Structure 1
Amino acid sequence: MTLENQHPQPGVQLSLAPRLSTLTLLCALSVLPLNVFLPSLANIAQDFQADYALVSLSLAGYAIVAVALELIMGPLSDRFGRRPIVMVSLATFTVGSIGCAFASDIWTFLAFRLLQAAITSCYPISMAIIRDTAGREQTASRIGYAAMIWALAPMIGPALGGIVDETLGWRAIFWGLALAGIVMFALCWFELGETNKTRSGTIVQQFHAYPALFRAPRFWAYALCMGFSVGAVYAFLAGAPLVAAIFDVSSASLGFYIGSITAGFVFGSFLSGRYAGRYPLTSMMIVGRIVACAGPAICLVLFFADVRDVIALFGPCILVGVGNGLTMPSANAGALSVRPDLAGSAAGLAGAMTLAGGAALSSITGAVLTEGNATYALFSIMLFSTGFALLAAVLAALVEKRSSIPAT
């Protein structure tokens, strides 16, 4: 599946609209470095003779830089264009990967690890590129297909990293990431043309336009829907291990239950890719939220019906993943369409708000759950989060309907 090529520039054969497969690979690469090296943390700590807690900063620090970059790079892509930001991000990521592979001490490793975080900005920029080259509903469809691979990458990443670590050593993981960065840079260099045709005059003017998104009720409706949708998953990730311990569930089984939500998200994203272009964005969002709400609601009904089978209690949670897969592409497309001239800024801001929502729900879950209330409290928090996301989706539908009514 390709987007239409237009207006190649003299001297370099660039297509204005890249293939969807290119953007999908770019999205996958933007998330893979986050956890592909996790199986190697202990070996890295041993090689550098460093505390495990210090080495784990390579994960927390990376996440903090990633959030900051999403807030910055989105507006910069609205000012300077999508292509320069993608190319700089890929180059910085590649340098960071090579630096991690060569690092001789923990501090050098951590410094170059932070440089690797530049790749995370490629995801919101890819969403903005899709919005630049497609209509609202078609944007949701294409984001749905891209989200399938984006979701698979973190599932496959740790297993792949563990195999590479055992066979070639942990440094080979970062050499592999560097090679992926070089290949992606070359692919984007020859294929990725500039899609942003409404760039602002100055960077000051661009950042002054940022508050316009905060004043738009439509943007808040879409962004809150995204944040609370993801928050339900983060709540599950934070609370499921405690519930599993209460029911004496093995680590392997817990991993299966956690992975089932991601599998549901992949399936829901596939459905979005197939059907989102045929229906209004808010219709897809509301259907997705109803499906997601059904998951924890069924779990609570079974729990209060005195069902104590782990499969029966955890199984319906897959509906949260399916619902998110149906919701997120349309919500993302809606947020980017509020101000098409600020699509990059909207993508970065919505992404940061989504991460913040997930972190908040995760923290609340960790603070509330105890061994005495873990099961019903977890599903209640998930139901609250999915229900609030449903309200946001309904609000988005109402705001969209009001904005479509012509003034008299």
Structure 2
Amino acid sequence: MNHLKISEQTELSLKLLLPLLAAVIAISPLAIDMYLPAMPILAEHLSTDMPMVQNSLSIYLLGYALGLLFFGPQADKRSRRKLVMLGISGFIVMSIAITFVTSIEQFLSCRFFQAFISSAATVVVPGTIKERYGKDTAKGFSYVSMIMMVAPMIAPAIGSVLLLHSWQLIFLSLAAYSFIILLLVYRFLPEVKREKNLVPVSFLQRYKIVLSNKKSQLNIVTSMVISLAFFAYITAIPFVYLTVFNVSEFEFSLLFAVNVLALMTAHFINTRLVSRKGSFKMLTYGLIVALCFSSLLVAVNFLQLPLMFTAVAVLPLMGSLSMIAVNADALIMQEFTRESGTASAVIGTLRFGIGALAGPILAYFYDGSALPFALLMWCSIIVVLLCQLPNMTKSIEIKD
């Protein structure tokens, strides 16, 4: 018997629901990227140095990860609609509070709580998509990711324009955007009615259920390691393009935008094919492409070939990483009905945790070239391949 019943009064078409969920998810990328151009001015205003302001990024990610851990299990037993409204409302309050800070300590504290409370809104999104799409969960994930990727593309440019007035306007704009989303959530986001659990499940038991599920363990590792590859790209690509290959800032922006378009294209392809092929096959296709082009990336940087070769290798590689990630997440979520919020928290926390290692790893192996970056991407793909080999073997045996 299905333990989750969607209220008929608040029934919403998928065409409207997915953009709304994408808008909720986009709050964090906007909060991370919009204020980047304001960092030097913030350092001056708060009488501190740039490294302290840059630490606010790490503080934000820490607060977000801890928030996921706390709110994930809550999303499995409480109203998801209310959690979204709580998360967005808290984000609005903290965004406004930031405009009144007078010290770096106050700024860092506000950023931490801004991230922590906002995770209450985003942690419910994967479970909501799963309930609406069922076996086509990966299709829903791809649609949301494709829409949401517009945010990091335009956020720095929006921040630069708002900075012409003041850095405070950036955070007031975040509050205004979030308020609009809050109104849309109140009007359109459907509620999930739950039957009372026959056996109460504690906070820690929910995590035990998720982490001990053997069918999802390798996919959880896959999702985590793919994030390491993705964060390696985010961390290293400015250095690779701007320093190693000496491109201009304008050329870097173009190359970065093209790679984001590659991610969006991969998500679009996934939405077209995943219903027929299934998430596992699409993950496998993505893995094959990733293995080929990560190997090519290592080769061209080992041979120190011109920029064109690295750019050509990175383009399909980034698209394949996104295809692996959304399908691995879908396979994980399909294993859980009553613990989907906890599963989302596990995925998100592990992603941010492993992603934080990309910088130190690249710093340790730094040699002034792009080779360490290429090798880290390749090694990540190899680990994913090892994780998926048992599933591939089972798939071949079933066919035989």
**Is the shorter-chain TM-score for this pair beyond 0.5, marking a shared fold?**
yes
The aligned counterpart of 1:124 is: 123
8 Å contact kept, 1:303–1:376 = yes
Once the two structures are TM-superposed, the CA of residue 120 in structure 1 deviates from its matched residue by 3.6
Q: Secondary structure at the match of 2:338?
A: helix
2-structure distance, mates of 1:191, 1:400: 41
Kept in 2, the 8 Å contact 1:148–1:269? The answer is: yes
Distance between the aligned counterparts of 1:50 and 1:62, measured in 2? 18
Indicate if the aligned counterparts of 1:67 and 1:355 stay in contact, CA closer than 8 A.
Answer: yes
Alignment of 1:204-353 (within 5 A): 205-244=202-241, 245-303=243-301, 306=303, 308-353=305-350
User: Displacement, 1:275?
Assistant: 1.8
Q: In structure 1, what is the Cα distance between the partners aligned to 2:323 and 2:196?
A: 31
1:361 equivalent in structure 2: 358
> Structure 2: which 5+ runs fail to align?
none
1:81 aligns with 2:96: no
Matched residues in 2 for 1:91 and 1:31: separation?
17
Work out whether 1:156 is the aligned partner of 2:151.
no
- Name the Cα RMSD after superposition: 2.7
Deviation at 1:196, TM superposition (A): 5.9
DSSP-derived class of the 2:149 partner: helix
| Structure 2: distance between partners of 1:111 and 1:378 | 33
The Cα of 1:14 is off from its aligned counterpart by 6.7
Distance 2:287 2:139 in 1: 17
Shift of 1:241: 4.4
Contact 2:62 2:112 in 1 (8 A): no
Offset from partner CA, 1:60-104 (integer Å, 9 cap, x none): 211100111112211110021311211110110010111112334
SS for the counterpart of 1:369 is: coil
396 and 256 in structure 1: CA distance in 2 versus 1, 3 angstrom threshold = farther
Aligned equivalents of 1:176, 1:375: Cα separation in 2: 37
Aligned pair 1:7/2:7, yes or no? yes
**Paired residues of 1:82 and 1:196 also in contact (CA < 8 A):** no
Query: Which runs of 5 or more structure 1 residues have no equivalent in the other structure?
Result: none
CA gap of 1:221–1:396, structure 2 versus 1, over 3 A, is farther
1:33 equivalent in alignment to 2:31: yes
Distance in structure 1 (CA, Å) of the matches to 2:281 and 2:383: 16
Kept after mapping to 2: 8 A contact 1:293/1:386:
yes
Question: 1:397 deviation in Å?
Answer: 4.9
Partner of 2:53: 55
What displacement does 1:350 show? 0.8
Shift in Å at residue 395 of structure 1? 3.6
What amino acid is aligned across from residue 19 of structure 2 in structure 1?
S
In structure 2, the residue matched to 1:392 is 387
Q: CA deviation at 1:247?
A: 3.6
Whole-Å separation in 2 of the counterparts to 1:258 and 1:386: 21
**Contact map agreement 1:26 1:123 (CA 8 A) in 2:** yes
